[in-house]
Structure 1
Amino acid sequence: MTSSPTLVLATAVLGAGTFAFRLAGPVLRTRVTLSPRVERLMATAVVVLLAALVATSSLTESHSFTGPARPAGVAVAALCAWRKAPFVVVVVAAAATTALLRLAGVS
């Protein structure tokens, strides 16, 4: 187990590094220019990373498939968001879909 001063030091170093990393964006924005092609690629990369995060968190749990209830809830949320429903409606619809499927025995 790590000692308390080591934990405090590690937390401070990680906090300072995070602050420096976040500060680098606004500071370097005026010095670094990206081509329109690179900006389009970065926008596409954001969408791909978010899709991978959604797929990973909605389809797997502890290195195995979650069952059909959670992906069905995510699909309902995606449909509601696509139809431009308010965020609260999206969350409640997804949670209700997942809960009702699990209540019906569809894990």
Structure 2
Amino acid sequence: MSVWIAIAVTAVGCYLLKLAGLLVPAGTLERPLVQKMAALLPVALLAALIAQQTFGTGDALTIDARAAGLGAAALALVLRAPFLVVVGAAVAVTAGVRALVG
């Protein structure tokens, strides 16, 4: 299959998914359960992406310097540090552990 065919199929799929979202009745979106799920879904997806990127290597689970960086970021968040400090702490700890380990 050509790359351009894959791009076109993906574009059409994204358009149809967006269209399906627009066709949902307004009454359905105003239900409290739907609103609560819509508010919590991005947090759950972000947590899943972070876990996959931190602990996943191909088909295996690993614990390496990225886990230490995630721990540093979590600690910075608990201490209510600004976002740039959280990212900086994660980067610095990950780089430090990688430099120490090898």
Query: Structure 1 length as normaliser, TM-score?
Result: 0.69
Cα distance between partner residues in 2 of 1:63 and 1:7: 25
What displacement does 1:13 show? 2.5
Partner residue, 1:56 = 52
> Does residue 86 of structure 1 match 2:82?
yes
Counterparts of 2:10 and 2:57 in 1: how far apart (Å)? 28
Task: Indicate how the Cα distance of structure 1 residues 82 and 29 shifts in structure 2: closer, same or farther if over 3 A, else same.
Answer: farther
1:44-73 deviation line (CA, Å, top 9, x unaligned): 444333322222221121233433421110
Name the aligned partner's letter for residue 73 of structure 2.
Answer: A
Aligned length: 102
5+ residue gaps, structure 2 = none
Mark the CA change 1:26 to 1:83 in structure 2 (over 3 Å): closer, same or farther. farther
- The RMSD of aligned alpha carbons is 2.7
Distance 1:21 1:81 in 2: 35
Structure 1, unmatched stretches of 5+, are none
What TM-score, normalized by structure 2, do the two folds share? 0.71
- Is 1:76 aligned to 2:78, yes or no? no
Q: Which residue of 1 aligns with 2:63?
A: 67
Give the Cα separation in 1 of the matches to 2:75 and 2:22: 36
Residue 95 of structure 2 corresponds to 99
12-21 or 26-35, which moves further after superposition? 26-35
Residue aligned with 1:28, SS: coil
